[in-house]
Structure formats: structure tokens, C-alpha cells
Amino acid sequence: MSSVPDYFDVLSIDEKNGNVDIIQSLIGTDCLGTYFENGTAQLYFDGGKRDYIEVSLQNINADFHFQWKWEKQNKEDWHLAWKDNFTPVVIEDKLAVIPHWQNEISADTVIKIKPGMAFGTGHHETTWLMLNQVLKHVKPGMSVLDLGAGSGILSITANKLGAEKVDAVEFDSDCESNFNENLQLNQIEENIHYYHHDVLNWENFNYDIILANINCNIIEKLILKFKGTKANVILSGLLKTDYETIEQICIKQNFQVKEKMIKGEWICIVL
């Protein structure tokens, strides 16, 4: 059995081309995450996937005409890279997401995150959009389902806002240790339950709030499974260009789009 490479393949794209988010979306779920440094977007992939991703890049480049380059980064250097670049995410002084090495700052709710394989830190537009809606909709005593939980940032926020029960579902096994680290950092010992499970095989949707920050293809399939739920459903991982397709699927399933929020090229909707 071959061992897992101990490095990341890192794809660098100049931010100036303006299509980084769209390119990331078109590459698909192979991208572990992205952060920005000195005007360059760096997209991370498990080591060994470079040749496979390169084929997709050649196809995408036919439409968007951009330049890129590859490099390798040892996995043990990961935290050092984030420590140099991580800045707090603050939403209207109501919520702050800060790195684990920083002292707490002034906000009603403070979430500490240890950057890790899950790549969920609140910086990406979709996470920022989801956090805004979680702040608005989650109330004390509610039950919450977090599909594609990643680093746990949305689950932890829901818990700190008073959710009585939070079920977090994540299929990527690399996320679990980081998820548990983040629970410990935020001194959460109960009320959040982690399930290593494919979200498309999850069957229980009897919650007050359902969260899903995943890619469009998965969301299209999830909406069909949500039929009959009484929950408010909050969705992101969607580009603005995805909206019409998603809206039509919602209408067919008797869902009403109650809210739509936009940041950059991305949208978040509440059903």
C-alpha cells in the first residue's frame, strides 16, 4: 500500500486576473483550501494530484486565460505559513474568529481556530456569508445540523450562540482531528457531535437549522433530500451564476428562498 505524500502541491494564481474564486470552483472538491499572500492566491492540494489538476487547468484556461505555477510545501510548514498571514475575522463586533495564538479581542462571541487540514477559518467569502446568517438565525435552545462541517467553525459558532444540540457531518477524514482541536480551544465538551459520514447518505433532517457550505453539485442533491423538513436551511458554496439553477430546484421542491446575501462572486441563501 502506498503511503500518503507528506507534502502539499500548491497552485499559485495571480489575484489580478479576478477569477480566482471561479477557477477554484471549477477545479472542484480536490482543492483543500485557499489563502492569499502578497497578491497571489495559493490553492492547496494533496501531494501527488498535480498532474490530474493540470488537465482541468488547461481546460479552464481556454475560457479565462490566466497564468499559474506549482510548488511543493511540506505539511509540517503549514501552521507556520498561516501564522504569518492569519488576521482576525470580525463581523459587526458581534463575532470574531481569531487564531489560537492570539488573545481574545472585543466581540460578543469569540471563536478560536487552529488552522489545519480543514482550511475553515472564516476568511473565505462563503464562510463569512454563513457566519452572518448563523448569527441572525441561531437562537438559544435550537438544534442545528452542520453538513460538510470541516474545521467546525459553524458548529462552534452555533454552540456559542446557545444551540442546544449540534450534529456535525463531515466525510473528509483529515478534518476530524482539527475539528476536535477547535472544540478544545473553545472549551466545548458537549452538545456538538461529530459524524464521519457522507452528507448525501445522511437521513435525519429534523432540526431547527440546517447548514451546508459545500459545492453546488452536492447542494443540488441535498435540496432533494431536504423535502419535508421544517428547518430553516442556510446554503453557500454557491457562485452567483449558480443561483437561477438552485432557485428552480427549490421551487420544484416547494422551498421558498427567504433571503439571499452576496459577497464577491459568492452567494448564501436561506430557505
- pLDDT-flagged residues of the chain (< 50): 1, 117-118
User: Is residue 244 domain-shared with residue 176, that is, in the same domain?
Assistant: yes
Kindly report the pTM of this predicted structure. 0.75
- Do 129 and 73 lie in one domain? The reply is no
Range of the domain at 211: 119-270
- Same-domain check for residues 13 and 142: no
Taking the C-alpha atoms of residue 29 and residue 83, their distance in angstroms, rounded to an integer, is 25
In a domain, 134, yes or no: yes
Nearest to 84 by CA among 151, 14, 35, 15: 35
Same domain, 66 and 134: no
Q: What percent of the chain has pLDDT over 90?
A: 42
- The H or E element spanning position 63 is helix 50-64
Question: Can you tell me the distance from the alpha carbon of 267 to that of 245, in angstroms, rounded to the nearest whole number?
Answer: 13
Q: Which of 77, 98, 132 is the last residue of a domain?
A: 77
Same domain, 192 and 141: yes
N residues, the chain:
271
Whether 268 contacts 235, CB under 8 Å: yes
End-of-domain residue from the set 19, 43, 77: 77
Q: Are 68 and 53 in contact, with CB atoms under 8 Å apart? A: no
Contact 239, 267 (CB under 8 A): yes
Regarding whether 63 and 175 lie in a shared domain, the answer is: no
Q: Where are the beta strands (DSSP E) in the chain?
A: 7-14, 33-37, 40-46, 68-74, 89-91, 95-99, 109-113, 143-147, 165-170, 192-196, 209-213, 232-239, 259-263, 266-270
| Closest residue by Cα to residue 241 from 258, 208, 264 | 264
Q: Both 136 and 251 in a single domain?
A: yes
Establish if 91 belongs to a structural domain: no
In a domain, 107, yes or no: no
Tell me, yes or no, whether 143 and 252 share the same domain: yes
Count of domains forming the chain: 2
Q: Is residue 233 part of a domain?
A: yes
- The pLDDT, as a whole number, for residue 1 is 45
CA distances in angstroms from 33 to 127, 150, 225, 245, 267, listed in the order given: 12, 11, 27, 25, 18
DSSP state of 257: -
Residues 34 and 132 in one domain: no
The amino acid at 182: N
Q: What is the pLDDT of residue 118?
A: 43
- My answer on whether 50 and 184 are in the same domain is no
* Pair (253, 178) in one structural domain: yes
pLDDT of residue 70: 93
Kindly state whether residue 84 falls inside one of the protein's structural domains: no
Q: Which CATH number does the domain housing residue 128 bear?
A: 3.40.50.150
Find how far residue 248's CA is from the centre of its chain. 24
Listing DSSP states for 220-255 in one string gives: HHHHHHTTT--SEEEEEEEEGGGHHHHHHHHHHTT-
DSSP for residue 136: H
Distance between CA 234 and CA 226 in Å, rounded? Answer: 12
| Residue 28's CATH number | 3.30.70.600
The reported pLDDT for the residue numbered 93 is 84
